[in-house]
Amino acid sequence: QVQLVESGGGLVQAGGSLRLSCAASGRTFSSYAMAWFRQAPGKEREFVAAISRSGSSTYYADSVKGRFTISRDNAKNTVYLQMNSLKPEDTAVYYCATRGDFSSSYYSLSRAAGMDYWGKGTLVTVSS
């Protein structure tokens, strides 16, 4: 059973930084791509960033490109999301997600409907 547990959310002022972590268990972490999504109140869940199995390929939503960085430590079974220059519109619950297969393309990782496993999320609140 794949389990994903996010941590690191909190309240931060606009312009500040946070680092989210997602600890994975239940399968060989290094064999699967990982992704971050977010959902703001009243909005649909949206793609934020994704990373390939080795970490050599990364993908970002246009809204976070240049501000957020996704990375992974396969020895620790953990994926990270470093968020800098945070804006009030980044306020959302952030979810870690992964697929049940070995797909690692942008198309396969950027659609919430295509993800098979989800964490419970961590809340990020950015005050203005």
Between strands 122-127 and 10-13, the pairing is parallel
Look up residue 55 and give its amino acid. G
Give the rounded distance of the alpha carbon of 111 from its chain centre: 13
Consecutive H or E run containing 95: strand 92-98
pLDDT recorded at residue 44: 97
pLDDT recorded at residue 73: 97
pLDDT recorded at residue 105: 93
pLDDT recorded at residue 70: 98
Tokens 């964490």 belong to 119
pLDDT recorded at residue 8: 98
46-78 pLDDT per residue, tens? 999 999 999 999 999 999 999 999 999 999 999
